[in-house]
Amino acid sequence: MSEQDVEPRQLTAEELIDAWEEAWSKRDPRAFVEICSTEVSYEDPLLAEPIKGPAAVGAHALRLWAAFPDARVEKLGARLSGGIFVAAPSRLTATNTEPLETLPATGKRVSVPLIFYCQVERGKLLRVRAFFDLYDAGTQLGVLPGRGSVSEKALLMLRGFGLRAGR
């Protein structure tokens, strides 16, 4: 049996999530190829619909890195895993030094807790859903009104939540 016939060791769920967080922090979109299935599906609150494939995940990461060049994703707590599923609490910290699509750079730092809910297949990530509070990120950046403020109440009223005219 030659070295070519030996399959590489599959990463454990813990190692895979460590590599996933590192991929978001090291600014190399190719890092997702090593840890993601070719059919990976990824979604987060910034996406209108899930994206498919490691190249698409890398392109999405490039948009983050363009607006937040110092972005880091780090372990926040114990990972929960059972079978093929893993839930990984993490934290994104970054400074918005460049425009984010149509929003100008704010120069403000954000620190957002998030959860990656992942499905693993044959030692690679097959599905990843990122959950985080997009409103909190917007308030930290100064593009949305702070919680409990008059501005937030007015915004919620316009959206049909909470306060109603005549009450």
- Alpha-carbon distances, residue 37 vs 47, 79, 81, 135 (angstroms): 20, 21, 19, 31
User: Structural domain boundaries of the chain?
Assistant: 3-132
- Cα 9 to Cα 7: distance, rounded to the nearest angstrom: 6
Q: Tens digit of pLDDT for each residue in 80-108?
A: 998 899 999 999 999 999 998 888 899 99
Angle value at C-alpha 9, between 16 and 7, nearest 5 degrees: 130
Helices 54-67 and 13-25, axial angle in degrees (round to 10): 40
Structural Rg of the chain based on CA atoms: 19
What pLDDT does residue 167 have?
45
State the pTM of this model. Answer: 0.83
Strands 36-43 and 124-132: parallel
Residues whose CB is less than 8 angstroms from the CB of residue 144 and which lie 6 or more positions away in sequence, other chains included: 135, 138, 152, 155
Looking at the domain that runs over 3-132, which CATH code has it been given?
Answer: 3.10.450.50
Q: Tens digit of pLDDT for each residue in 18-54?
A: 999 999 999 999 999 999 999 999 999 999 999 999 9
More confident call, 6 vs 141? 141
